[in-house]
């Protein structure tokens, strides 16, 4: 098995490191536009293989997509963070151009690859990669739900003083403050979380989860990388090892939840074919209203991309 990670920044390098350490693929190729950057990160990861005892070969290349040929899975982390003075539209335009270019190069050399998008704004970048690749929707997906769910579970574990291993949860919708946490589907060792924590504390944790990325930016001056990189690697593992894991993943909806054409996070089954099943939960009125609000917010961002000159 061969996995390519495009973008050797903090998120991409963390993803490559986790893939190597867990021996999820025989070879991990790290690609970046900065001369020598990916080569250095890959070499550093390879040099700790005798220490951490793994065999996965890590290779770094500068803009040479021929080295990515015949990849089974490709993770796209490329893109710029939003800078002071940059509008949302500027960010969408810049990163969509990057994601399109990367996708074209990836598909040229690995036409059967499954693509996982991590670049932001996540939902619309998944859209850009999907329409560029022309692959089935089951083979182009966005990583956000696993990260958001992990933050939610970590905060709950802290509040309840229990192991995060015993907390299961589902989040839906867009990545950001319109995400839809579902306490009704959150359990601790099989016990509904609502039996273990009062509603005010649970609401506070939900709000903290929605702003989880922003909290880290305020603390560090930059966006997160350990958890996002690990989340992307977990998706790769589910595909490469055909684990049939149930994860919240961004996908183009085609009628599920009464939504068509919008890219939203929903629970799916991940296996060797990519998204093997979209799971439709029986949402109540309040939950469905939140999901529709999230759809509206994501659709507005998709419309920004659609209305840009290059897409007219």
Contact 59, 71 (CB under 8 A): no
pLDDT of residue 181: 87
Q: What is the mean pLDDT of residues 163-176?
A: 94
3-state secondary structure (DSSP) of residue 9: coil
DSSP 28-80: EEEEESSTTHHHHHHHHHHHTHHHHT---EEEEEES-GGGGTT-SEEEE---P
**Percent of the chain scoring above 70 in pLDDT:** 98
Binding residues for NAD(+): 7-12, 32, 95, 118-120
Q: Contact at 8 Å (CB) between 247 and 268?
A: yes
Write phi, then psi, for 219 (nearest 5 degrees).
-75, -40
Of the residues 139, 175, 210, 252, only one is catalytic, namely 175
Do the beta carbons of residue 211 and residue 218 sit within 8 Å?
no
Statement: residue 244 has pLDDT above 50: yes
pLDDT of residue 222: 86
Query: Which residues contribute to the annotated binding site?
Result: 7-12, 32, 82, 88, 95, 118-120, 151
According to DSSP, the β-strands at 73-76 and 114-117 are parallel
Distinct helix (H) and strand (E) counts, the chain: 10, 14
pLDDT at 5 over 90: yes
Query: Average pLDDT for residues 80-94, to the nearest whole number?
Result: 78
218 or 135, greater pLDDT? 135
Query: Would you say 297 and 174 are in contact if contact means Cβ atoms under 8 Å apart?
Result: yes
The Cβ of residue 109 has, within 10 Å, a number of other Cβ atoms equal to 17
- What pLDDT digit, counting tens, does each position of 20-68 carry? 999 999 999 999 999 999 999 999 999 999 999 999 999 999 999 999 9
The DSSP element (H or E) to which 148 belongs, if any, is: helix 145-160
Q: What is the mean pLDDT of residues 177-191?
A: 94
Give the whole-number percent of the chain exceeding pLDDT 90: 90
Does the annotation count 130 as an active-site position? no
| pLDDT on residue 312 | 41
Q: Which residue ranges make up the annotated binding site for substrate?
A: 82, 88, 120, 151
Please provide residue 242's backbone torsions phi and psi, each rounded to the nearest 5 degrees: 50, 50
Res. 277: pLDDT tops 90? yes
Q: What confidence tier does 310 reach under pLDDT thresholds 50, 70, 90?
A: low
């Amino acid at each position: 098995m061969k996995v390519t990670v495009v973008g050797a920044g903090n998120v991409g390098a963390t993803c490559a490191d986790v893939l190597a350490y867990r021996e999820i693929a025989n070879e991990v190729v790290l690609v970046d536009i900065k001369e020598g950057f990916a080569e250095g990160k890959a070499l550093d990861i390879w040099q700790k293989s005798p220490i951490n005892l793994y065999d996965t070969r890590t290779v770094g290349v500068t803009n040479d997509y021929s080295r990515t040929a015949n990849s089974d899975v490709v993770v796209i982390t490329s893109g710029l963070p939003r800078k002071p003075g940059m509008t949302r539209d500027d960010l969408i335009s810049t990163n969509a151009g990057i994601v399109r270019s990367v996708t074209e190069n990836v598909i040229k050399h690995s036409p059967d690859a499954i693509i996982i998008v991590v670049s932001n704004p996540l939902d619309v970048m998944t859209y850009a990669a999907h329409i560029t690749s022309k692959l089935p929707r089951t083979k182009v997906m966005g990583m956000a739900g696993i990260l958001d769910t992990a933050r939610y579970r970590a905060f709950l574990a802290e509040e309840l003083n229990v192991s995060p291993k015993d907390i299961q949860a589902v989040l839906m919708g867009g990545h950001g403050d319109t995400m839809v946490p579902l306490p009704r589907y959150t359990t601790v060792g099989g016990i509904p979380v609502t039996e273990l924590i009062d509603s005010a504390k649970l609401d506070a944790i939900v709000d903290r989860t929605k702003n989880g990325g922003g909290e880290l930016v305020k603390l560090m001056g930059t966006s997160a990388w350990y958890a996002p990189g690990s989340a992307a690697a977990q998706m790769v593992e589910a595909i490469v090892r055909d684990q049939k894991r149930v994860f919240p993943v961004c996908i183009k909806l085609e009628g599920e939840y009464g939504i068509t054409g919008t890219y939203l996070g929903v629970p799916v089954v991940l296996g060797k074919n990519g998204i093997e099943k979209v799971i439709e939960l029986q949402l109540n009125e309040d939950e469905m209203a939140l999901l529709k609000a999230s759809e509206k917010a994501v659709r507005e961002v998709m419309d920004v991309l659609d209305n840009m000159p290059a897409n007219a």
